[in-house]
Amino acid sequence: MASGDPDAGLDVLDAPRERDEGAAALHHRGVAGVEEEPEAVGEDALRPERLLELAAGGLDVRPPRRARPHGRPVRGRRVVRPAGRSAHAHILPRVPTVGGGARALRVRSAVGVQVLFVLFGLVIAAFFPFFAPYLRSRGLRPEEIGGVLSVMAAARILANPVWGHLADTTLGRRSALRVGTALAAAFALLLFAVPDGLVPVATAAALLAGVGGALGPNIDAIALAHLGEERMERYGFIRAWESLSYAVATLVLGVVLDRVGVRWMLPAYAAGSLLVLAWSGALDRDPPARAERHGRLGAVGRVLRGSPRYRAFLAASLLLWTGFAAAWNFIALRIEDRGGGLATIGVGIALGGAVEVPVMLASSRLAARLGLRAVYLAGAAVYALGFLVWGLLSDPLLLSLSAALEGMGFGLLFTSGVAIVGKLVRPTLHATGLSLLGTVGFGIAQILGSLLGGFVYGRLGSAPVYAVASGLAWMAAAVAWFALDAPALRRPEPVRLPLAPEAAPPHGSEAG
């Protein structure tokens, strides 16, 4: 059959049996708790951009029976195929993963994503461990430092959903990451250059925090796109690289900044952001699969309306990270109250970061065997017990060493949490779903936890703070127990979509 269509003959229309159009209408229904509007089927469902979206969701979307890729019927004509293509080759366009989705680029894609996480670990190490001492070096009092941190948390609450919406609907994850890293470098240098004083420092710090939502959530979304639906529980193997680089860079930067001054943390942060920007250029573009109407609140509203389980998971995250903020923000004060110094505090921070690496590697194996729900609940239990231990111990060195429990809990919670969002939220909205999770966990919860911890610490002492934090972690575990009670999260196997009676058996990992 002569045809000017370069894709002619690359379909599976002569396969013995095919899935019918009803399979396309079941898109993403197999993920627990996702409530989607009925998807288009027929000719509209076969448009390349629609196929991209369905393929990203893990669904085998070969054409309906007796249908051509563009809706033309098949009437027994012999199909001519290019050499090297089997009769059952898919017609799907290449799925827009980080590495482009082509088989020849798989290795390069994996290396690209892993290096991206290594570089982002350097960025985090240059900021969070040293930012409070930096603010003190700018002449701010403790209460003013707390005010700056609250302003930064408020900036994250406002900006993170916006960045998620732009990444999923307009810019794409890679482009949003590139814009965010460029702005982060610029605002870090602005904060370095502004004069001392609460107002200029707080203003520049708020700008810097506001662009943070374009970095972490988009890097995680890129990793999820690279892994795909069936390998999502392996996110921990990738995330461990960030924890490793974070732990090493924290030790190195601590020595360097001790000699040159803590103010130089911001140029180091800017340099790390520019490294991420430069490396991201090696990744393929991933524009949104297609323009679609999201209704009120854009992609944010679509995510919140689409999955009741996701909303319940956000509630569990709010409880958990509020308790974490109340406990973690005051652990340094508790160590100092018990006679410890900055060196003792630093040992705990480095130990917690080092413990994250093997735990994140193990979390992927645990998720493959037990399911994501079990891993998340285990992390919440470790946090609850760890907070209680912090309230009971009195020796400053033991308090510092017990920070290993924080690294263990974080390694379990963060890796499973990102993968859970990947399961509960449709692939085209992953950046928005992860941005909202960050808004709740590291924005709203940080403000609530800091206020709660400060109030209890000042009125009742340090030990009650950790009793309250432990109680919040147990409450979060209880909410997560019910919110994550779904087949896709209870068991490691991917959810199988039902087939029409005449549909062909699924291929690959869906077989069974």
What does the pLDDT read at residue 71?
A: 45
Helix (H, G, I), strand (E, B) or coil at 337: helix
CATH of 103-287+294-490, one of 1.10.10.60, 2.160.10.10, 1.10.10.10, 1.20.1250.20: 1.20.1250.20
Closest CA to 99 of 226, 232, 235: 226
User: What is the longest distance spanned by two Cα atoms in the chain?
Assistant: 85
Q: Which residues, including other chains, have CB under 8 Å from residue 201's CB and lie 6 or more apart? A: 135, 138, 140, 148, 191, 194
Token reading at 98: 């980080």
Q: Tell me the pTM.
A: 0.63
For the chain, residues classed under CATH 1.20.1250.20 are: 103-287+294-490
| CB-based contact 123:247 (threshold 8 Å) | no
pLDDT tens over the chain, length 512 residues? 443 443 433 333 333 333 433 443 343 444 444 444 444 344 444 455 555 555 555 555 455 544 444 444 444 444 444 444 433 333 333 333 433 444 433 335 778 888 899 999 999 888 887 887 888 888 887 678 778 888 888 898 888 888 888 887 888 888 889 999 999 999 999 999 999 999 999 999 999 999 987 888 888 888 888 887 777 778 878 888 888 888 888 778 877 887 888 899 999 999 999 999 999 888 877 776 555 555 566 777 778 777 788 999 999 999 999 999 888 877 777 787 788 766 677 677 778 878 888 998 888 888 888 889 999 999 999 999 999 999 898 888 898 888 889 889 998 998 888 889 888 888 878 878 888 888 888 888 988 887 888 788 778 887 888 999 999 999 999 999 999 988 878 776 444 434 343 333 333 333 33
What does the pLDDT read at residue 289?
A: 59
What does the pLDDT read at residue 457?
A: 79
CA distances from 75 to 69, 206, 351, 424, 503 (A): 14, 64, 68, 41, 19
| CB-based contact 377:478 (threshold 8 Å) | no
What does the pLDDT read at residue 290?
A: 57
Radius of gyration of the chain (CA): 25
SS3 sequence, 33-101?
Answer: CCCCCCCCCCCHHHCHHHHHHHHHCCCCCCCCCCECCCCCECCCCCCCCCCCCCCCCCCCCCCCCCCCC
Torsion over CA of 211, 214, 219 and 222, rounded to 10 degrees?
-170
Alpha helix (H) residue ranges in 87-141 = 106-125, 131-137
Name the β-bridge partners of 39: none
What does the pLDDT read at residue 24?
A: 38
What does the pLDDT read at residue 79?
A: 43
What does the pLDDT read at residue 312?
A: 92
What does the pLDDT read at residue 157?
A: 86
Task: Report d(CA 394, CA 221) in Å as an integer.
Answer: 41
Give the number of other Cβ atoms within 10 Å of residue 140's Cβ: 20
Give the number of other Cβ atoms within 10 Å of residue 70's Cβ: 12
Token reading at 85: 């293509």
What does the pLDDT read at residue 47?
A: 53
